[in-house]
A = this chain, B = another copy of it.
Amino acid sequence: MIGLGLIGGSLLRALSDGGRSAFGYNRSAQTVADATAAGYRASDDLVATLRQAASDDAMIVLATPVTVIDDLLKSIAEYAPNCLLTDVISVKQPVAQAVARLAPGMRYVGGHPMAGTSQSGWAATDPQLFTDAMWMVTTEDHTRPDDWLAVASMARAVDAYVVPAAPDAHDRAVAAISHLPHLTAATTAAVGAGESGLALRLAAGSFRDGTRVAGTAPALQRAMLEANGIALLNVLSEAIDRLIAARDELRDNGTVEILVDDGHRARNAYEAVTGATPAPITGVVVGEHGWAHELRRQAHQARVWIG
């Protein structure tokens, strides 16, 4: 585990608690001390950690903000070039490009667990963080089946469901359902707080829930959103268009019917998808002809891989 923040630290704990051999690196000596005191294997020596990974033929999980991966990838390629590499970063095309540029010989299968809170750092880690969460695993036509299965199996080992996707489809999807919500939450919060102390005093459930992710550390939000800038621009423009149409409808006709109805239908669609146990992908053997395409096709129907 390279990085022991909320995601990396929780993954180290979940895997270790489940009896898997796992160890982690973090640049902060304090975090390493906290993890070690809690009974986990951690080090602030990157080279020693990577040499251990190479010696164990371990899978390396890159679990840092996307903004700091370049130097780490160079070190990984230098000290553990034969290890399988995955990551838990919220955007996939930029990471894949960085791997191709800085660690071109390595086997890499991207990952992204859809789990998080507005908290960050080791203190916020939780070995149950991934239970029933969706874990996107990059699934391309040229992905090696054994590598894919290794990454998918790690996700399953911490009780997550595996969602196969192409990197570009993943980045568009998370722009819509994860990154845009940060900007609408920030907007809602800023407009509300700008009104008066009375307004914040009266703020209740709709404001509390609608602005929650605005409380995430700004540097983490920016790293996540700005790395997915092009996909985010598209969905942000669509959001603006919808709000302008609603403003015009309200001003000219006194109604917000179209936006409220569209939003209600959309929320119902979301609840239908997420309210029940996910339907499993069926009839695919990983490695057989066309397996990656078929996994992606069924994932687009909201199905998950459970092995």
A residues adjacent to B (C-beta < 8 A): 114-117, 133-134, 136, 163, 165, 169-170, 172-174, 176-178, 180-218, 221-222, 225-226, 229, 232-233, 235-240, 242-244, 246-247, 250-251, 254-257, 259-271, 273-274, 278, 299-304
Whether B247 pairs with A243 at a CB distance below 8 angstroms is no
B residues near A202, Cβ cutoff 8 Å: 114, 134, 136, 163, 165, 170, 173-174, 177-178
Given A191-B235, A192-B176, are A226 and B255 also a contact pair (CB < 8 Å)? yes
Partner of A260, one of B218, B238, B264: B218
Residue of B nearest to A243 (CB): B240
Whether B267 pairs with A211 at a CB distance below 8 angstroms is yes
B residues near A269, Cβ cutoff 8 Å: 193, 200
By DSSP majority rule, is chain A's interface helix, strand, loop, or mixed? helix
Nearest-CB distance from A139 to chain B (Å)? 11
Nearest-CB distance from A281 to chain B (Å)? 11
Nearest-CB distance from A275 to chain B (Å)? 11
Complexed CA–CA distance, A218 and B178 (Å): 24
B residues near A278, Cβ cutoff 8 Å: 201
Partner of A214, one of B191, B226, B267, B303: B267
Whether B180 pairs with A262 at a CB distance below 8 angstroms is no
Residue of B nearest to A172 (CB): B195
Residue of B nearest to A220 (CB): B260
Given A186-B262, A236-B246, A250-B236, are A222 and B256 also a contact pair (CB < 8 Å)? yes
B residues near A299, Cβ cutoff 8 Å: 198, 201
Complexed CA–CA distance, A140 and B233 (Å): 46
Nearest-CB distance from A137 to chain B (Å)? 12
B residues near A262, Cβ cutoff 8 Å: 186, 189-190
Whether A201 pairs with B134 at a CB distance below 8 angstroms is yes
- Complex A-B: 13 CB contacts under 8 Å: A173-B195, A173-B202, A178-B204, A180-B191, A181-B206, A190-B263, A190-B265, A197-B273, A197-B302, A205-B212, A206-B212, A209-B209, A221-B256
